[in-house]
Amino acid sequence: IPLGAGDSPVPLSLGMMISRQFTAQGFLGPISSQKRSAAGRVTRTPFVHGGRLGATTWLLSVSKAPSPTAGSVSGWMTPEKPSNRVRVVAKSATAPAPVGDVATVIDGKAIAAKVREEIAEEVKAMKETKGFAPGLAVVLVGERKDSQTYVRSKKKACEEAGIVSYGADLPADATQEEVLQVVRTFNEDPNVHGILVQLPLPDHLDTEQILGEISIEKDVDGFHPLNMGNLAMRGRNPLFVPCTPKGCVELLKRAGDPNGGGLPIAGKKAVVVGRSNIVGMPAALLLLREGATVEIVHSKTVNPGEEIKTADIVIAAVGIPEFVRGDWLKPGCTVIDVGINAVDDATKKRGYRLVGDVNYGEAQAVAGAITPVPGGVGPMTIAMLLKNTLESAQRE
């Protein structure tokens, strides 16, 4: 395997011959880099080579450092759950550049900005033709700093789009009945076309009852059981779809082209990682409606990496930092990372950094297109909230 001089990383792709009664040509692991140090040692970043042969995932561990002119390198091929080892010889091969060299970053900020621009134009037209603007009411209970930040951003987005913003701020010790009464008041207000209860609510409140109290005609979060039920049934259409999964699908449709005509969904294999009512389940249902073949990976899935590796489209919404690894991805796939997690990082001024549910550094080297964190799905969630509110007003 030819290596560059000094410590310069050189992308490798391997065509492997496995000497144990079978041969696998073009056995391609997750694309990574190797570099040769002055001592002649080979290091791999960010992970070892590997891949699937039959039903088994194999990992290649190089045990002999080649010279710059070497034509092969010896090593060991080990099952992911090793019970034995298989001797391999990796022969040098000429192959296309790694997929990661041409991976596209799906810019959620740019796409969301385009969507919000379209919404503002439609709101302006509504004011001129119907004489009123859409109205969105946000109910905030308690003083959580993150919830207050989200509410402020939603109010600002409404203002920029020309949507009228209403709000009710209740103390953290508000009773169940007090919150329900606020929701009922907004249900009856003809100027309010969408109601959003900011989650999470304090522990003493019954979240399901409060969300169920929102009129289905104003359920712009899309969490009402009837909306979810209609989403799951063929031949029926929900009044609203949950904002985050709706934003994920919109990203796919607009990736590379904010005006539409993005990545294909119909006929593709999609794997959704996570099965929450907020993202995972509705995302899977939306992808089904778009004609994808859909699988859900969850906490009981025996080998999530093997399942994810079959996907053309991966939507990760499991809430575990960097859960999806690069060697779990099919080369050239599209990755939509819903997660946003804070992990400790002493090099950062805040003491932490934000990461998604996908290991971005590894995934970039394999995927054909990927959303960053932050700046991917997050901006689309608010854009879809505004879109749902506009659609509610347009039904009048």
Residues catalogued as catalytic: 154, 198, 221
Residue from 345, 300, 302 nearest 322 by CA = 345
Which residues fall within 8 angstroms of residue 100, CB to CB, at 6 or more apart?
A: 31, 364, 365, 366, 367
Consecutive H or E run containing 170: strand 164-170
Q: Is the dihedral of CA 316, 322, 324, 328 positive or negative?
A: positive
CB distance 315 to 272 below 8 Å: yes
Reduced to 3 states (helix: H, G, I; strand: E, B; else coil), residue 121 is helix
What CA–CA distance (Å, rounded) separates 370 from 314?
9
Q: Encoding tokens for residue 170?
A: 């209740």
- Cβ-in-10-Å burial (0-12, 13-18, 19+) of 395 comes to exposed
